[in-house]
Structure 1
Amino acid sequence: MNNLEKVKEKLKLLVTDFKDNNSYYKKLSEADVEDKLVNELFVNILGWDKKDYEKRAKVRRGDKGGSADYAFKINDRIVFFLEVKKVTIPLDKEADEQVISYALSKKIPFAVSTNFEQLKIFCVEESEERKVIFRAFSNPDDYLTKFDDLLLLSKDSFEQGLLLKEAVKEERLKKRVSIDKVLLEDFWRVRTLIANDIEKNKSGKYNINEKDEIVQRILDRLIFIRKCEDMGINPENLTLEEIKHVAESRAYSHLKTLFSKYDQVYNSGLFTPNKDNDCDSITINGEIIQTLIGYLYESHDKKYKYNFEWIDADVLGQVYEQYLGKILAQTKSGKAKLKEGQAHRKEQGIYYTPTYIVDYIIKNTLGELLKDKKVDTKKIKILDPACGSGSFLIKAFDYLNEHLSKDSDTKQHKLDFQGAYSVKTSILKNNIYGVDLDNKAVEITKLNLLLKAAEKFRKLPSELDNHIGWGNSLIDDDAFEHPFKWTGDFQEGTFDVVVGNPPYFNLEMLSDEETEFLKKYECYAGKSDILYYFYNKGIHLLKEGGILGFITSRYFIEATHARNLRKYILNNCNILRIIDLSKLEVFKYVGIHTVIIILEKGQRKNNKISYQEVLDFNNINNNVNLILQSSLSEDSWVLGEKNTLKIYNKIEKSTQLRLKEISIIEQGQKSGLNEAFTVDEKIIKEYKLEKEFIRKLVKNSHIHSYNIEERGLFLIYASEKMNPENAPKIVNYLEKFKKSLKARAEACDELYSWYRLQRPRDQSLFDSTEKIVVPYRAEYNKFAYDDLQRYNDGGDIRIIVISSKEFSTKYILAILNSKLMNFYYKNIGRKKGRVYEYFVEPLQKIPILKISLEKQNSYIKLVDKMILMKQKLAFFGDKNTSETAKLEDDIEKTDNEIDELVYKLYGITEAEKKIIEESLR
């Protein structure tokens, strides 16, 4: 009997027992149903452990929702909610809506309700236009007849994402609308409505940014009030809903009165009249205010009702991040309009961090620190130097609050009715710090943290204004706009934890003055990314033994220009963890491949780094490899499994000779306008272009292992030697592109003639009788032989010209295309998802073994055979014949023969071959 049969047998016994003793089970309380039936079903049959779920105390306030009975988790992430009823209570619409509302507000796609006699699985993010019931079991016998459906609720199923896959396959999640998207659309609507009303009443007094700040302050206050209402802590039971029913002319004055009462109770600065923000002195149309208030109770289309108690701060944070993503712009008529196009925070390289990433980083930084009983928790300082809407600080708040609440002194203090409140306010006063260059993001962070600490009739700390700062974290010079001074509470070297998701963009986006300022950082390099400086600054800010946790682009691991950063990290920190997320799409539709890195400031001998490449974040703790930090240098970091690294090091040490010592490696030409300089035979004939300046063209996509696919394209090679006198027809042809050609950067500055190539490169190299050509990006090694003097347009290839007479080009080609060198390059090449970048520096590092020219002949013969067979196969195109099948078999056989020669050359054993070939699958 296999495991599945055993599970089904257990289920049969449970169902039979329930049917035989039905009258007994109908008398059970809800709690007893949980203990005797639900636990049996979910724990003993569906494989969940008691530590996998959180059982929550019920909270009832009239018609307000309470806590879900169970929140089931995988790696601390909620995957579904479960609501349990007595056997005698039917699963009606009210019961359905209760558990759906929990999941919808928490952005969890699944919810389950059961009284054991029935069970329903809800696909919660589904549009209300269609049924949200995903699977239903109308009686206990259904558990057996629909056994496969029931297994979708097993722990194994959630670990593999089977329920989600099934929902997507059935298109039940295709048109889902999550609550943050609906709320965001409503926020955008009122943003322009209020801004335009301000313009109507105070024409010309405020610029567009001032209007936006007024709108945001009003919105911040309203969200705080709505959160208080749904938590049942609104002073004097005052609600915004009452304002919906007063006369329009009095709506805003009533609202300002409400603001005043909240200021008296909470005294946080949020409701205090502010000379820098005129939302208390202006008048806004009552209809607009009532519309806005209405949107905070239910969506504009009346489909969704909002319960702000259950909208987590991180969900609200995502809404606000996207809210900030559009800029309020002013039209010629003075009206406000949201600027369409790419979100301006994304233009700055800023992306909202998914909750599961935030959880992981806080758990492995602050969480690790809290395990040390010698640490005084109340004095821990946590900083996010690019805090955005505060997601990392919110999670840090939760961690500290939970930890302090478990402390024995705090438990005793909770006997005092102010105890829990004191813990929360203490955290805001002493532990949490953040900085952001976007002032609106700073205000949102403050709001989110205040919402965390809000308690009925308790004043909120005003110190938050001194803990969440506005400014440029990297620049402290008053000569620049919005410098941030790391003094006082923000003094460098005083933080225990630094966390965040710093922005990613190249320094080319900065002004010359800003770039010049950054030269004072140890990590400075001319073509570096701004994130390097956040690492540098973050380490400076830590105290000795402090921990840094960032999620960033992973390029610094291999990038040439990150050499100084890698050196700085190695010289100042113990690297605790590196989590490679390049095969996961953490930031959707952005194309950035990421890594989580956890560092401890300080140095210890023999530090071992926990490294893993993650395919599924649910299995984050699987396949961890330990790497000695001393094995890394300022050169590209080679990270991987122990046996893989052993083989890599063997190849490294096999020879001192590198490809750069026997060759010249060059990037392909760049014209700066492909459509002008890339031509075909038809254009050449039609315009009678001078053939002296025409070259065969090869592009990235034309290159395969050993051969180049002929596409009939050519390059107009307009070097400094070409001019209107010796190539009048070409210059005449290029005239139609003249405007675009003159707009190219260097052409604008007249550094070269408008008809010239932007980067013509060394002509003699491309005219070599033979050379090797490689695409700049490929999933595996694709080195091709070129004896037709091909050129390039776009810089998307690299060429290798063998300069030493002691090496045959075809011998080197055999090595480069081998499985062994494919394996080697995957350890040194810069990764972009599943693709590797073939740039000059890593190519130069490839180790080459020297053998006699006579011994090279066996490689040359096989390469000649490969080139000929691949040319023949290309001739057949997509045709499948017995001849093409034989050719493919012969190509594979010859490829294997080359691999065997190269394995033998580098002394690779059979066991090592197996590891290499497994890693390439």
Structure 2
Amino acid sequence: MNISLQTENGKIYSHIRKKWLIETPEELVRQKYVETLVNDYGYSLDQMDEEVRTNIPSERGLGAARADIVIWKNKEDKIKGYNSFIVIECKAENVKIRMKDFYQGTQYAANTRATFLVLHNSKETRYFNIDLNKIPNTEDAFEEILAIPQAEEINDEKRIKELITQTKTFTRDEFTKLLVRCHNIIRNNDKLSPEAAFDEISKILFIKINYEKHEQGREVFTLKKYQENQALTEEYNRIHRVKNPLPYMQQLFKQTKETYKDDHLFEENEVLKIKENSFEAILKELQKYNLSDTSDDVKGIAFEEFLGKTFRGELGQFFTPRTIVDFMTHILDPREGETICDPACGSGGFLIKAFEYVREQIERDIQREKDRFKNELLGENYENLVEDDKQIVTQRVNKIFAKLNKELESVKKDKVYSRLYTLSHDCIYGTDANPRMARVSKMNMIMHGDGHGGVHRHDGLLNINGIFEERFDVIITNPPFGSRVDKDLLVSKEEIFDDEEAIRKYKLRYGQAYQQALDSVKDNVGLPILNMFDVGKYSGLTEVLFMERCLKLLKKGGRMGIVLPEGVLNNTNLQKVREYFEGRAKIVLVCSIPQDVFVAAGASVKSSIVFMKRFTIEEENRYSEVVNGINSELSEKYGLPILKENLDSLEKTEIKDKRNKIRIIKGKIKEIEKLIEEEQKPLIKERFDYEIPIAKVDKAGITTTGAKGENELEVLEVEFKEYNEAAGLWKDNAIKISYSLASDGNLIRTINQEERVLTW
């Protein structure tokens, strides 16, 4: 017998306890899940219970610890108090689930030797098997799995064993293998190149995601469902005499393009380029997954692994190993409110990691605020209050929690933007010149749970919407290197952004700086790209040009991490290049990484990771003072001012052999200036001195085959963090956010002293 959710007048009905309760956000989540357990899994109300007391002490102010929902194998086990079968803990928080936040549920499940644990909130659900041999070490005892059993499967030992072995890691690997099988279907049936086959797989994945999101997870897009809908569509076309109707699979893709049009995933005239039997075969392969509720780390990591397998060798330069991405992100430590850019973003690995890194900071801060409000409002006397007063206080706490939870969703209302919305829309930017990779980057971000990165298909060396000089706090990138920009390569008209409506919006958003950014491209059309770079007169190497580009994209005091060919800054042929950067930025860490790190991605160049900080205004002034002072000293030492005075006098007089004497003095001046240039280098280093840590890592967490290995970068990361804290290498730019309650009970958010009432 099915049950339905019942609410009225601020109350919600508990079918298990058979009574009305206050409708708090937590209670709503719990009762919705009870409905799922009964209607979808087939469990009966008499084998379940709620608020089951344990002997585990709780946090202060919350009374005795309880398990939110407990399921026994049958009614008799429940009555006799036998060990539970499934323990479920629910929270209203709309955040990524972490086991440490579900202390009571995990402890209860361990103590009652349950087989399964479910952690559920309004964002996701995670399932765990409990290895009883590892109790009481609860951290090791819980292994994440794909699902829990249906009620009818409780006594099916074969099925239970199957569920226990279907771990999340196994699921990721299976999903990756499945994508490869789909890829091979297209290669074999449609004879497309690996890259073109990948494009078609991407289209089908997004058709499936679009369909299942529209169905809100209620229905999986299976081959059978496709064929049913196709028959209905063809019948409609026949009855209404639709002329030249699109094939149904093309119609589905057209709808998908419309959904994602603002993300520019697909060209307007793009169509599916495979046979219908290939489309159907792939749907059949994919139908075991509901991509609207498959967790982001399963989809995202599987999608990345599939990318690597597909493009290794052909497009290997676009993929930076995860251990390198993690290390560089942790060293740069991007903070909430900072703008982050990768001007050569490839598959988007750096942008995704930076987004997740900052999002976790926001989640932790929201949890701290919840704990603070809970402690303040519940107070020391909460347990002594009468039940009605407890309910009033609890409702007040839950109202605050509900508003704080919205900060973790991408929402805006009445010109108030949630913190996650701001991170998604205003802080993450990237470009890639390769159209396929720019699209892949966007797809990758969507697969990881966010599709709002400011990623553009554009030459990373040139300005584009939102990506221009002195805009960013953090640059993190692995640019193309080993090739050259020719002197005759010109800035083309195609590089000019001419969407007038978009330009108008960008001007409102970025001000006059945006117009100047556009003009810097427009004014150089028809001229060599090298002319736009200070170092262009020394070198056309792409890595050198990208170093200057990244430095100029940074705000003063901004920081960057960049993967470069080993020794590029020590190359005697690039001495002028090194001096250019030493006069504009501090090198804060150089890390040599093993050659085999990039072998799995098809690259063989020995690389280093270089971290720099662009000079602050104070450092610029100090550097100029040092250089000018040394120049003045050496000029006096070699009599340069007197020579210049003599030259000036000579040019104003008429004497015999004037031209020859001028030539001789100019020659002397040139010799002295060259001498000063050489002598000042060690003096500048001596007077503008700072420490440059250099590290060599032999094991970077990845082997030549792409398998995981020992990772010395993790140790280096800890050591650098301690060094950075002591040296104060860069300023903490994290925005200061606090929350308070207005007299009317509304929640006020204060960002850098600007107050906003959270109206959602």
What is the TM-score of this pair, normalised by structure 1? 0.39
Where relative contact order (Cα < 8 A, 6+ residues apart) is larger, the structure is: 2
What is the TM-score of this pair, normalised by structure 2? 0.47
